[in-house]
Structures are given as structure tokens and as C-alpha cells.
Amino acid sequence: MQTKFIFVTGGVMSGLGKGVVSSSICKLLQLSDQKVSCIKIDPYLNYDAGTMNPIAHGEVFVTDDGGECDMDIGNYERFLNQDIPKSHNITTAQIYSSVIESERKGEYLGACVQIIPHVTDAIKNRIKKIAADEELEILVVECGGTVGDIESLPFLEALRQIRVEEGSENVIFVHVTLAPSLDVVGEQKTKPTQHSVQELRRIGIQPDLLCVRCSMPLQDKTRNKISMFTNVTNNDVFSCHDVDSIFQVPEILYDQGLVDVIFKKFNKMGYVNASQNWDTWNKIVNSLHNEGDPINIAMVGKYVTLADSYVSVNHALKHAAASIGKKITIDWIDSENINGNVDTLSKYNGILVPGGFGTRGSEGIIKTANFAREQNIPYLGICFGFQLAAVSFARNVCSHTDANSTEIEQNTNNPIIDLLPEQDGITDMGGSLRLGANEINVKPDTIANKIYGQDKISKRHRHRYEFNTKYLEEFAQKGMIFSGESDEGRRMEILEIPSHKFFVGVQFHPEFNSRPGYPEHVFKAFTTAANQN
């Protein structure tokens, strides 16, 4: 089967939303009954996103198969409602490692190993293997970075070669650019787009389509000018103007005829433009825009200066609120600033503590969890928020005043949270956490069992520490029970306080499983409880 490829490049500057454009194009083709998937290329030298600071780069998205990926993979999963494997996030480090490994094994038979052809071949093989293994009809590949960057050059060269090898009827290049408006009359400027297309052409790539980011819809005269000076037909210049929600982008591209243009270029006749699929998707998108009084959530975490640090949690809360016909507002609160101010949390309908690492801000989280428990405010703790809720319970209810996680205080006499035994002796930071999907047993007659409605669930993980089962009995006697566990009872996965309005912590990351129209269960339960509070 011949897979068709759509390569998405970016010009002018970063942060234009290439990921949203790529996901939207892929979504439109999925709605047209094509078997599709997306790949994200990250030209940086990190092996994966696992060691990157979330405040600078946004969240690390964890896949079912344990990949620590760029957050665009999360966008793909949410748009397509489809699991994406970690092989779909390609980095320079992965490509170079595989080339160097082959060289060390002598697989190049004495050749001088070079960027072209060896590195470019490795890139092409990786992309084509995914297309073949997954029997995809259309594969969208988003190349991170901005055209002109040194580090993305080998990738762009590999994509250029794929067009030559596969034939131009099987490959479309989409370039995402910007038309800024500088003055009050809002004239849209075309020069940045002209220059970035020139830069692409300099390396042998003539884009077929342009998706132009702009605040207001692209004006005709801007479109004409862009078309004239970039060699892209008028019809193939698409306006990607600002909309309320990223999930509306497929529709604005569809309205401009994007699907027809793509199928025509691919010479694909008689495709299904399934109106049935459109209805379902539109219903989901519309449900994300509920009006009325919002549910107010305090999200108390360590990485609050960048909303993207918790992007999947933000989305999951929205999906959950949408499913009960409500809208949500989230205040991101720095846990370092909670000390002495914890009372300010009383105005919220619910308190959520997301994942985190390290000592900074941990005392604020422990106080937050204690406050939510004492004041009977719905609380959801995720990973670090689960662990520190247990620490706060040990300190304040079980009178172990020095209780802590050994991640924070190694010499505590009450290590409520301790290193996973298999982590002992591990010194590498990258890829060494407990990662990916694991099966969890949910005990009968618990809040968790009511929430999930089943005895076994599979959830994604990313942690190095876990609850110390030595304290299980004492906690149960004092009113906190562990209602989910894995590995034959060795690991605690869900905690709850049955007497509380809603006090639940999960060692796993439910946010990575939430999709528009299909909210993750614990988020839905938490949001529902917050709505009633």
C-alpha cells in the first residue's frame, strides 16, 4: 500500500501552532475515513523530553508504551482520540544514537559515515517504517523548529528526499507561517511569509500549501500577495486565524476547502466525506464551550509560570466539566507561595495538585492537602499530589510530625513515600522512572470502584517514589484507605478518605487518558464533586 505523506514545516518564529495545524489536518483526514497518524520531529539533542524542564518546554507527555514525549503527542492523541506510540516522537539524539550504534557494529562496511546519506537515511527509514508497520493511508509528519535553524536541516533534507523517492503525487508540504498586523487598520504583512518560503526553497522545498497564522481572517489582498510571491496557488493559501479553542481549527480549515485540496493533490478520488463523523466531532467541540457559572479550581503546583506545564491536566478538567454541561476556570497557584496563605484556597470549589519533582514548594503542597482535608473541599492529587497527600495525612492525622517523602528528606524517621526498590542504584536521570501503562486492581466497594466502574484499569505512570506499605494499616485505622494497587498488592495506586466529600489521590497520571468527549473518570468525579461544593 502506498502511504501518502504530509510534511508540516514552520517559518518565521516558534510557537505558531504547527502542532495544532498538524493535528487539525490529521483530524480532517480521519473524519474522511482515512487511516491516519502523526509524527513529531524534535531536532534537539535531548534523547527525549523526559529530562526537560516543564517551565521552559511545557509538559512531558507520557505514552502508553512509556515514552516521555513532546507535548504535541498529547495534542495528536486528543484530536485523533487514538493512542500514539513513542516511536512517533523522533529526536536528533535518537537518530544519531542509532547511526553511531550501527557504525560501532561495523554495519557501514568501512564507509565514511556522514550526515548525508547516513543520517538522512536513518530519518527516512524511521518515518517509512512507521507508515508501513501501521499500514497508514496518510501520515502527517510535523518538523519542529523554524526553517533556517541549523539543527533541523538534516530532517528537512530527509523530507525533501522522500518527496523525490515517493513521487510528488504522494507527498504534500504544508508550511505554517505568520501574517502579523502592525497598525490599527490591521493591514496584514506578508514579508515574513515571503522570506520563510524563500528560505525553504533555498533548501529545495517548494511548499504546496500555506497555513498562515493571523489574528483576523486572512484578507483577500494578503492572500493574493502571498500567493504571487511564494509560488503557491491562491486556493492553497489557508487562513489560520485566532479562534476560541484549538478544536475549532479543523472546521475553519475545512470551510476553506482543505480536504478537497489535499485529496486532489493526492489524486485520491471518491473519498468519503463522512457527515456522520462530522456530527459527532462537532458535538464534542461545541460541548467544550459551555457558558454559565464556572466551576472554580485551584491548581496548586510547582510549575505554574507556564500554563503548558500542565497542559493535559488543563484539558482533562475541561473535558470533565464539558461532560456535565459546565465550564471551568483554573487558577494556577505556586505552591511556594502557599505558606501562610492557605486560607485563600477556601474560595475554590475544588483543589487539584498535579505532578512534580524535588523539594521546592513541597511544604506548600503538604499544607494544601491538609487544608482540603480539614475543610472538606474536594481534592484530587496526581502523582506528587497523591504522595504528599499521604505525607500530610501521616503528619496531621497519624501524628508522625516528621513524616516525609525521601525525595524531599532522606533521613526522615517516617518515610511515608520511599524510592521504588528497583530504583536503588540508578544514577541516570533519562528514561529511568517507572514509565507507561500498568494494570491496576481497583478494590470492590470503594469510591475508586464507583468512579471507574470496574475492577481493573490501565493507567500511565511516571514516578520514582511510591507509598511505603508499612503504613497501610495505621492509615486505614485513621480513615485513609488505598483502593487501588498493582503488582500483587506491592504498590499503592489510589488513596481515598471515605468520610470526606471527595478526597482522592492517584499515583498514576489520569490526565494522559482524557480526550474531548471522553473525559477520564477520576477527573469527571472530581469535577462533579467540585460542582456540588
Considering only the C-alpha atoms of the chain, give the largest distance between any 2 of them, rounded to a whole number of Å. 75
Cell numbers linked to 429: 536521570
Is residue 398 annotated as part of the catalytic site, yes or no? no
Residue 434, annotated ligand binder?
A: no
Beta-strand runs (E) in 403-498? 404-405, 415-419, 434-442, 456-463, 465-467, 481-486, 491-496
> Catalytic one among 68, 77, 496, 511?
511
Give the three-class secondary structure for 355. Answer: coil
Residue 16, annotated ligand binder?
A: yes
Q: Which is nearer to ligand GLN, 144 or 355 (CB)?
A: 355
Supply angle C-alpha 229, 39, 244, rounded to 5.
65
Give yes or no for residue 355 binding ligand GLN (CB under 6 A).
yes
Cis peptide upstream of residue 117 (ω within 30 degrees of 0): yes
What number of other Cβ atoms are within 10 A of residue 495's Cβ? 24
Q: Which is nearer to ligand GLN, 10 or 50 (CB)?
A: 50
| Alpha helices by DSSP H, 289-383 | 311-323, 362-374
Give yes or no for residue 521 binding ligand GLN (CB under 6 A).
no
What stretch of H or E contains 294? strand 294-301
Among 40, 463, 500, 515, binds ligand GLN (CB under 6 A): 463
Residue 72, annotated ligand binder?
A: yes
Give me the sign of the Cα torsion angle 63, 69, 74, 79. negative
Residue 194, annotated ligand binder?
A: yes
The site map against ligand GLN for 230-269 (x = CB under 6 A) is ----------------------------------------
Q: By CB under 6 A, which span of 33-41, 332-340, 351-359, 446-454 interacts with ligand GLN? A: 351-359
| 340 Rama class: left (phi>0) / alpha (psi -120 to 50) / beta | left
Residue 223, annotated ligand binder?
A: no
Give yes or no for residue 61 binding ligand GLN (CB under 6 A).
no
- Cβ 432 to ligand GLN shortest distance, Å: 11
Q: Which is nearer to ligand GLN, 225 or 461 (CB)?
A: 461
AA identity, residue 88: H
Q: Which is nearer to ligand GLN, 96 or 357 (CB)?
A: 357
- CA distances (Å), origin 525, targets 207, 294, 520: 47, 16, 9
Burial class of residue 376, CB neighbours in 10 A (0-12, 13-18, 19+) = middle
Q: Which is nearer to ligand GLN, 281 or 471 (CB)?
A: 471
> Catalytic one among 383, 463, 500, 521?
383
- Number of residues in contact with ligand GLN under rule CB under 6 A: 11
Among 98, 357, 441, 443, binds ligand GLN (CB under 6 A): 357
- Are 507 and 390 contacting, i.e. CB atoms less than 8 angstroms apart? no
Those residues with Cβ within 8 angstroms of residue 116's Cβ, 6 or more apart along the chain or in another chain:
154, 157
- Cβ 423 to ligand GLN shortest distance, Å: 9
Is residue 383 annotated as part of the catalytic site, yes or no? yes
Give yes or no for residue 384 binding ligand GLN (CB under 6 A).
yes
What stretch of H or E contains 192? helix 191-202
- Cβ 358 to ligand GLN shortest distance, Å: 7
Residue 151, annotated ligand binder?
A: yes
User: If you search the block for the grid coordinates 497598525, which residue do you land on?
Assistant: 183
Among 57, 464, 478, 501, binds ligand GLN (CB under 6 A): 464
Q: Which residues are catalytic?
A: 383, 509, 511
Residues at the site binding ligand GLN, with contacts judged by CB under 6 A: 355-357, 383-384, 387, 407, 462-465
Q: Which residues fall in the annotated binding site for UTP?
A: 14, 189-194, 225
Q: Which residues fall in the annotated binding site?
A: 14-20, 72, 142, 149-151, 189-194, 225, 243, 356, 384-387, 407, 464
